[in-house]
A and B are shown apart, each in its own frame.
Chain A
Amino acid sequence: MDSMIEAAIWFWIPLICVPIGIWLSISGKAKNQGNVLAVAGFILVLFSSWTVPSSDSTAAGHLLLSILAPSLLLTYGIHGMVFGGNVPVGKLDNTARWSGALATIISIVIFCLMHWYSFTPLWRNGEVNPYWIVFWPTFLLFSTSLCSLASFALIIFGDNRVGESIKLACLSVVMTGIALAAIIFDGYLTTAEEFRDYLWLAAADIIGTSVGVAMAIGAFAVVIFSYEKSLPPPKKSLPPSDEEIEHVVELASAHIRGEEE
């Protein structure tokens, strides 16, 4: 079979199935079929480096599979940390907070070991997965940036949130420290020079993606605004009758005074 068709069947079509499945699931039009389609597509993308090894694009699927375990651990940890605290709904046991914090720290340590120890994702012929050096600096830069943003946002918009803000600033500094270590020290299979090169590209990626997403949302807002503006004004309804006003006053007074109780 032609390698292009193979790549289309085993990588690109499953990749397209993931957002379509999520869309079907969220829209409620075919919830179960949507979930099955999304999960099946995602699994096929993860294993695409085995099903269609000739395609370079499948390195992305291989990377996603390589980072799946620490990513799930990170998500589990964050879930435990959030819902182990004082939440009104869905509160977990108090120990979930500590186990969550531990899971989050371990997941970040695993990511570090993937850079500085032998856990680095290897792809064809024992070479480092080319997308690892895309993922790692982007993750570090963006988490540093977002933690800093959240830290300032808590001070600006929050009420007496200095303690929480300092904790987030500390996390931002820790992530900056990891990025600095990668800038200075060589990884297990990648050099500090390579990381520094990709740091520029990661910064360009983050800013470019943010600009592109903002432009798309802007275009969407313009389209919706133009359409809504072109609609004729809604017909004015008649004012309420005396009987209706009396009914509303009756309901309001019953709720405000609690006379029925």
Chain B
Amino acid sequence: MSKPGSSWRILGLAAILPILVLVAIDISLGDDIHPESFKRFGNAVLTSYVLMGIILMGNLFFYADSRHRPMAPFVGMMFAVGVGILISWTLVSYQDLLLEANSGLRSQMLSNIVHLLVSGTAMLLASILAIGTTFATITGRKRRVLFEEEE
């Protein structure tokens, strides 16, 4: 039986392998790494961190219902999101480190949110396809009789 840690490593490899194969084929066709890839990566990390942080902050209201509404986790999460916004603001306004084809800080930040809306929709649809097909294959199999009494 494989070790639990190695199973997760195999799963990580399974997730990243198709992307690596496609990118390798792209390179073999003579293309270089896209110069804006790092900027896109940086913007995606910061935008998704901040937006997910805000969503989780909303989630704290459910948590607070069972804990006599404490302020400390809310303040902690506000601080975490605030740090994310501050880092985004600093890095986007620092020369053209994270500035893509936009005129300035505000347009870059708004563009990041819209970009995440589109790529998030693509990822959501891909998740529906993959997770749905997984369940469809599982429920597609005939029921196995575990005990004779079931018949």
A→B interface (CB under 8 Å): 15, 19, 23, 27, 56-57, 59-60, 63-64, 67, 71, 74-75, 78-79, 81-83, 85-87, 97, 100, 104, 131, 134-136, 138-154, 156-157, 161, 163-164, 167-168, 171-172, 176, 179-180, 183-184, 196-197, 199-209, 211-213, 215-217, 219-220, 223-224, 226-227, 230
Contact = CB atoms under 8 A, between A and B. Distances in A.
Contact of B127 (A83, A136, A142): A142
Interface in B10-34: 10-11, 14-19, 21-23, 25-26, 29, 31, 33-34
Contacts of B123: 138-139, 142, 206, 209
A204 B44 contact: yes
Contacts of A149: 11, 14-15, 130
Given A64-B117, A180-B25, 5 more contacts: A86-B142, A148-B15, A205-B40, A212-B49, A216-B84
Q: Is the interface of B mostly helix, strand, loop or mixed?
A: helix
A183 B19 CA distance: 13
Interface of B: 2, 7, 10-11, 14-19, 21-23, 25-26, 29, 31, 33-34, 36-38, 40-50, 52-53, 55-56, 58-59, 61-63, 70, 72-73, 76-77, 80, 84, 110-111, 114-123, 125-143
A147 B34 contact: no
B148 to A, nearest CB: 19
8 contacts: A19-B58, A57-B114, A156-B11, A197-B34, A199-B26, A211-B48, A220-B53, A223-B76
A217 B136 CA distance: 29
Nearest to A108: B129
